[in-house]
C-alpha cells in the first residue's frame, strides 16, 4: 500500500480579489522508502500541496475537492483534532526557513522534547533523553550541550538540523521537506541533503522533497513531479525525466541552470514572463503564454498522458517530437571584452584587515574579543572586469564588499580606488567618490524602503548628489526602469507590489542611478527561482557591457560565479585561500577548500549526482573570534598534517595570476612563495 495517495486534489484560497486555485487537480502517490521530488517555480502550488497534506493551510485556504489518503485515512476529510494525532507524529515536515519556524523563546531541547511528550506521552526526563538522541541522529556536534541553547545561538546549518530533528523525533512514515536547503550555503546544503538520504534509508521513511532546484532533485529523488500553475505537467522516474524531457516547461527549467562545463559565451536560457495569476487562471494550457511552441491547439487544456504511462506529460507539442528549445544568443564582442576587463587596475585592496569588537555586559560594556572578519587580504580588480568572491557565510566576503563601497573602514590596510585611499576620505570628498561605488544587497525587499514609491527610491541618490532638476530626475528614473526591464508605470508602486525578481531589478536600477564605475553585487540571485535567476544574470552581463561596469560579485554558488566572473577569489574564514582566472580555479583548483566547494554544486544530471558518496566539505565553519592556528581550513581538511597546525601557509603561484595558500596543494606550484606582487 502507498504511504500517501493524492487523488484529484483541489486546494483553493479565498481572498478579497477572488479565489486562488493554488492546487488544481493534482494526483500522485508516494511508496514506502521512496523519495518523490516536486519541482517548479514559486507560486506554482508546490508548498500548498505539502501544506494540504499537513492540514496547515493559510487563512482562507480549504480543500475544495479530492482525497489525501495516508494509509487507510483520508486526511482531506479528517478534522483538526484527528490531524493533531498525525501531524508531527506519523507525518513530519521541514520548513524552508528554520529561524522563523523555531520558537525563539524555547531551548532546542524543549522544542524537540515537546513533540515527544505530546505524541508519545513520555515523561519530561525521557523526552529530553530522546531529544539528545535525535540531535545525535541528525549529526549535531556535541548534542548534550545544544539542549540548553536557543535557535539564535546556532548557525543556519545547525538550525536546519534541529528542524529535521523535530520532524523525525517520533519516527514518522512520511517526511515533507519544503525547500530544506534554499537558505543555506552550498556546503551546508550538501551536508543536509546527504543527511536526509541517510536518515531515509535508516528509518525507512517516504520523502516528499519540494524544491525549485532540479540539481537537488537529480541526485535525491526516485521520481519527479513537475508542477506549473497548480497542475502537474510532467512526471517520470528521475533518470527518465532528465534523459527524455518532454514538457517545454521542464526543458526550460533545465536550460535556465548555469552549468560548470558549458561555455559562458552564451546567454542563459530564460523563461519569459511569470506564472499566471491563479485567481484568474488562463483557459487552455497554462504555460502557453510563456511557451515558444504554443499554437492554436493550446487554447484547449492538455490532459496528462502520452504513449508511455510511466512518463505522462500535459502538452500538445512535447520536446523530442519536432520541438527543441532555441539556443540563446551568443554574447556580442563588446560584452565579452567588458567581461575580460581592460587591464588597468581600478581597485586595489592592500593588506586589508577588518576586525569587529565583541563586548559584554550592560551599561559598563567590556571587550571580550574581536571577530576577525577579514585577515590580511590583498587583491587588485581591473577596470571593466568581474571579480567573483566565493566561500561560505562568515568567510568575510560581504565585509570586503562593504569596504570596497566605503560602508566599512579597514582596521588596517588600504582600499584604493583610482589612486585614492578610501579610508582617508571624509565628508564631501567621500560622498563624491561614493557615487562611483554602488552595491546590490542580497535581500532587495529589506533594502528598499517599504514606505517609499519606486520613483522616490530611485530619485533619492540623484537628489543627494544634486544631479539635475525634478523633471530630469523623473525622466532618468523612467529610463532606468526601462533598462532593467520594468515598465515606467512601476514608478508609482511600492516595493511590496513586486515579485522577488522584479525587486532585484529595482535594486539593480538603484545601483545604476548615478552611473557608477563599480557595483558590488552581494548574493544577487541566491533567493530567486532558477528561471528568474537566469533573467537577472543575463541582465547584469548586458548592463555591464552597456555601461562599462566593474563588478565584484559575492556568492556561495560557484555555478553563478562561473557564468559572471573572469577572475575568482576563494575566501575561507577571513583569508584569501585561492585566486585566479575562472578557468584556472574551476579546471585546476589548487586548494582543497576550492575543490570541496566545486564538489558541492548540485548538477542537473542524476548519474553525476548519485556518484557523489558523501558531503564534500564536512563540519561547521570555526569561530571567527578564535580561528584555528596555522591553516584555518585544517580542522575540515582531509589532507591536513602537523605542519598545517603549526604554520600558516603563504600564497604560492600555480601559473600566471593563479595563487593558492596551502602546504599540500592539489597542483604543483611553479614558485615556492609569492613575492612582493599583488594578487590580480
Shared domain for 306 and 399, answered yes or no, is no
Q: Is residue 671 part of a domain?
A: no
What average pLDDT does range 5-32 have in this prediction?
A: 94
Concatenating the DSSP letter of every residue in 382-413 gives ETTBEEEEE--TTSSHHHHHHHHTTSS--SEE
Question: What DSSP state is assigned to residue 420?
Answer: E
Compute the distance between CA of residue 542 and CA of residue 332 in angstroms, rounded to an integer: 9
Cell of 293: 511552441
pLDDT attached to residue 616: 73
Higher pLDDT, 538 or 260: 538
Compute the distance between CA of residue 637 and CA of residue 155 in angstroms, rounded to an integer: 20
Q: Is residue 450 part of a domain?
A: no
Asked which of 294, 329, 364 is the last residue of a domain, the reply is 329
Measure Cα distances from 330 to 16, 269, 336, 540, 542 in Å.
46, 11, 10, 15, 12
Q: Is the pLDDT of residue 335 over 50?
A: no
Shared domain for 391 and 317, answered yes or no, is no
pLDDT attached to residue 181: 81
pLDDT attached to residue 334: 41
Q: Is the pLDDT of residue 22 over 70?
A: yes
Q: Is residue 418 part of a domain?
A: yes
Tens-digit pLDDT profile for residues 563-587 = 899 999 999 999 999 999 999 999 9
Range list of β-strands (E), 573-639 = 575-581
Residues 537 and 560: beta-carbon distance below 8 Å: yes
CA angle 458, 460, 462 (to 5 degrees): 90
- Write down the pTM of the prediction: 0.85
Asked which of 329, 347, 380 is the last residue of a domain, the reply is 329
pLDDT attached to residue 673: 56
Tens-digit pLDDT profile for residues 424-452 = 998 889 989 989 999 998 777 788 899 99
Shared domain for 650 and 556, answered yes or no, is yes
pLDDT attached to residue 212: 84
pLDDT > 90 fraction of the chain, expressed in percent and rounded: 63
pLDDT attached to residue 268: 85
pLDDT attached to residue 364: 67
Q: Is residue 288 part of a domain?
A: yes
Number of domains in the chain: 2
pLDDT attached to residue 329: 58
Which CATH number covers residue 634?
3.40.50.300
Measure Cα distances from 281 to 21, 24, 65, 241, 376 in Å.
8, 10, 18, 27, 56
What average pLDDT does range 497-510 have in this prediction?
A: 86
Asked which of 329, 355, 379 is the last residue of a domain, the reply is 329
Residues 432 and 514: beta-carbon distance below 8 Å: no
Shared domain for 240 and 340, answered yes or no, is no
Measure Cα distances from 48 to 56, 86, 196, 276, 453 in Å.
9, 18, 22, 16, 31
- Confidence band for 224, pLDDT divided at 50, 70 and 90: very high
Q: Is the pLDDT of residue 337 over 50?
A: no
Compute the distance between CA of residue 309 and CA of residue 200 in angstroms, rounded to an integer: 28
Higher pLDDT, 382 or 502: 382
Q: Is residue 90 part of a domain?
A: no
pLDDT > 70 fraction of the chain, expressed in percent and rounded: 94
Shared domain for 574 and 595, answered yes or no, is yes
Higher pLDDT, 61 or 334: 61
Shared domain for 314 and 391, answered yes or no, is no
Shared domain for 340 and 322, answered yes or no, is no
Cell of 32: 514506502
Residues 660 and 578: beta-carbon distance below 8 Å: yes
Of 528, 22, 29, nearest to 258 (Cα)? 528
Lowest mean pLDDT among 198-202, 382-386, 651-655: 198-202
Q: Is the pLDDT of residue 487 over 70?
A: yes
Shared domain for 351 and 267, answered yes or no, is no
Lowest mean pLDDT among 59-63, 138-142, 645-649: 138-142
Compute the distance between CA of residue 23 and CA of residue 559 in angstroms, rounded to an integer: 32
Using DSSP, state whether 581 is helix, strand or coil.
strand
Length, in residues, of the chain: 680
Residues 68 and 75: beta-carbon distance below 8 Å: yes
pLDDT attached to residue 397: 93
Q: Is residue 20 part of a domain?
A: yes
Of 270, 274, 306, nearest to 287 (Cα)? 274
Shared domain for 556 and 627, answered yes or no, is yes
Q: Is residue 409 part of a domain?
A: yes
Burial of 450 (0-12, 13-18, 19+ CB in 10 A): exposed
H or E stretch covering 355: strand 345-360
Q: Is the pLDDT of residue 473 over 80?
A: yes
Shared domain for 223 and 275, answered yes or no, is yes
- Confidence band for 272, pLDDT divided at 50, 70 and 90: confident
Shared domain for 287 and 342, answered yes or no, is no
Shared domain for 547 and 418, answered yes or no, is yes
- Confidence band for 343, pLDDT divided at 50, 70 and 90: low
Strands of 550-555's sheet in order across: 437-440, 518-522, 550-555, 386-390, 567-572, 575-581, 659-661, 651-653
Cell of 564: 559572471
- Confidence band for 368, pLDDT divided at 50, 70 and 90: confident
- Confidence band for 338, pLDDT divided at 50, 70 and 90: very low
Identify the domain containing residue 240 by its residue range: 1-32+40-80+213-329
Residues 102 and 162: beta-carbon distance below 8 Å: yes
Residues 612 and 628: beta-carbon distance below 8 Å: no
pLDDT attached to residue 333: 43
Q: Is the pLDDT of residue 3 over 60?
A: yes
Tens-digit pLDDT profile for residues 607-660 = 888 777 665 787 778 888 999 999 999 999 999 999 999 999 999 999 988 999
- Confidence band for 365, pLDDT divided at 50, 70 and 90: confident
Tens-digit pLDDT profile for residues 241-260 = 999 999 999 999 998 888 77
Q: Is residue 148 part of a domain?
A: no
pLDDT, mean over the chain: 89
Radius of gyration of the chain (CA): 26
Concatenating the DSSP letter of every residue in 218-279 gives HHH-SEEEEEETTEEEEEEEHHHHHHS--SHHHHHHHHTS--TTS-TTBPPP---S----TT
Amino acid at each position: 500500500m502507498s504511504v500517501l495517495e493524492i487523488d484529484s486534489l483541489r486546494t483553493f484560497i479565498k481572498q478579497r480579489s477572488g479565489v486562488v486555485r493554488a492546487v488544481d487537480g493534482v494526483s500522485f502517490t508516494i511508496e514506502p522508502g521512496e523519495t518523490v521530488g516536486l519541482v517548479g517555480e514559486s507560486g506554482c502550488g508546490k508548498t500548498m500541496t505539502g501544506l494540504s497534506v499537513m492540514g496547515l493551510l493559510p487563512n482562507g485556504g480549504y480543500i475544495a475537492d479530492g482525497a489525501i489518503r495516508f494509509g487507510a485515512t483520508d486526511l482531506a476529510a479528517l478534522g483538526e483534532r484527528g490531524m493533531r494525532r498525525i501531524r508531527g507524529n506519523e507525518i513530519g515536515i521541514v520548513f524552508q526557513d528554520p529561524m522563523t519556524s523555531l520558537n525563539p523563546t524555547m531551548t532546542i531541547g524543549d522544542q524537540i522534547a515537546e513533540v515527544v511528550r505530546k505524541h508519545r506521552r513520555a515523561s519530561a526526563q525521557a523526552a529530553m533523553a530522546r531529544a539528545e538522541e535525535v540531535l545525535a541522529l541528525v549529526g549535531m556536534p556535541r548534542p548534550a550541550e545544544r539542549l540548553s541553547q536557543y535557535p539564535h545561538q546556532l548557525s543556519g546549518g545547525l538550525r536546519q538540523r534541529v528542524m529535521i530533528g523535530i520532524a523525525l523525533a517520533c519516527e514518522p512514515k512520511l517526511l515533507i521537506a519544503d525547500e530544506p536547503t534554499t537558505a543555506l550555503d552550498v556546503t551546508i546544503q550538501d551536508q543536509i541533503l546527504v543527511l536526509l538520504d541517510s536518515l531515509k534509508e535508516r528509518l525507512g521513511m517516504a520523502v516528499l522533497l519540494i524544491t525549485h532546484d532540479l540539481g537537488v532533485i537529480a541526485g535525491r529523488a526516485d521520481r519527479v513531479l513537475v508542477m506549473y500553475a497548480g497542475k502537474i505537467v510532467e512526471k517520470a522516474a528521475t533518470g527518465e525525466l532528465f534523459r527524455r524531457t518532454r514538457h517545454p516547461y521542464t526543458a526550460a527549467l533545465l536550460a535556465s541552470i548555469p552549468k560548470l562545463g558549458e561555455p559562458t559565451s552564451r546567454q542563459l536560457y530564460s523563461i519569459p514572463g511569470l506564472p499566471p495569476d491563479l485567481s484568474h487562471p488562463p483557459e487552455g494550457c497554462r504555460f502557453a503564454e510563456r511557451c515558444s511552441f504554443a499554437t492554436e491547439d493550446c487554447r484547449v487544456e492538455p490532459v496528462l498522458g502520452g504513449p508511455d504511462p510511466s512518463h505522462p506529460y500535459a502538452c500538445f507539442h512535447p520536446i523530442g517530437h519536432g520541438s527543441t528549445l532555441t539556443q540563446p544568443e551568443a554574447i556580442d564582442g563588446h560584452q565579452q571584452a567588458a567581461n575580460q576587463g581592460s587591464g588597468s587596475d581600478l581597485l586595489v585592496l592592500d593588506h586589508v584587515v577588518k576586525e569587529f569588537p565583541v563586548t559584554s555586559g550592560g551599561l559598563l560594556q567590556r571587550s571580550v574579543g574581536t571577530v576577525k572578519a577579514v585577515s590580511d587580504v590583498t587583491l587588485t580588480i581591473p577596470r571593466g572586469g568581474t571579480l567573483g568572491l566565493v566561500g561560505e557565510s562568515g568567510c568575510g566576503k560581504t565585509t570586503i564588499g562593504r569596504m570596497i563601497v566605503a560602508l566599512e573602514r579597514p582596521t588596517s590596510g588600504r582600499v584604493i580606488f583610482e589612486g585614492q585611499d578610501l579610508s582617508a576620505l571624509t565628508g564631501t570628498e567621500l560622498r563624491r567618490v561614493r557615487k562611483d561605488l554602488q552595491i546590490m544587497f542580497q535581500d532587495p525587499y529589506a533594502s528598499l524602503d517599504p514606505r517609499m514609491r519606486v520613483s522616490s527610491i530611485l530619485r533619492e541618490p540623484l537628489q543627494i548628489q544634486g544631479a539635475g532638476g525634478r523633471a530630469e530626475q523623473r525622466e532618468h528614473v523612467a529610463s532606468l526602469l526601462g533598462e532593467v526591464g520594468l515598465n515606467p508605470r512601476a514608478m508609482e508602486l511600492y516595493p511590496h507590489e513586486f515579485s522577488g525578481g522584479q525587486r532585484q531589478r529595482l535594486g539593480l536600477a538603484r545601483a545604476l542611478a548615478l552611473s557608477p564605475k563599480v557595483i558590488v553585487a552581494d548574493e544577487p540571485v541566491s533567493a530567486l527561482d532558477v528561471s528568474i535567476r537566469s533573467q537577472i544574470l543575463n541582465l547584469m552581463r548586458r548592463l555591464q557591457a552597456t555601461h562599462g561596469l566593474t563588478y565584484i560579485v559575492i556568492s556561495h554558488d560557484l555555478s553563478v560565479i562561473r557564468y559572471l566572473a573572469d577572475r575568482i577569489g576563494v575566501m575561507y574564514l577571513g583569508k584569501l585561500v585561492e585566486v585566479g582566472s575562472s578557468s584556472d580555479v574551476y579546471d585546476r583548483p589548487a586548494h582543497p577548500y576550492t575543490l570541496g566547494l566545486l564538489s558541492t554544486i548540485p548538477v542537473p544530471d542524476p548519474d553525476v549526482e548519485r556518484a557523489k558518496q558523501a558531503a564534500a566539505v564536512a563540519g561547521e565553519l570555526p569561530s571567527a573570534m578564535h580561528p584555528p592556528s596555522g591553516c584555518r581550513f585544517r580542522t575540515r581538511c582531509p589532507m591536513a598534517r602537523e605542519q598545517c597546525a603549526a604554520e600558516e601557509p603563504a600564497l604560492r603561484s600555480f601559473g600566471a595570476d593563479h595563487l593558492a595558500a596551502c602546504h599540500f596543494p592539489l597542483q604543483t606550484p611553479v614558485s615556492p612563495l609569492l613575492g612582493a606582487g599583488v594578487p590580480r
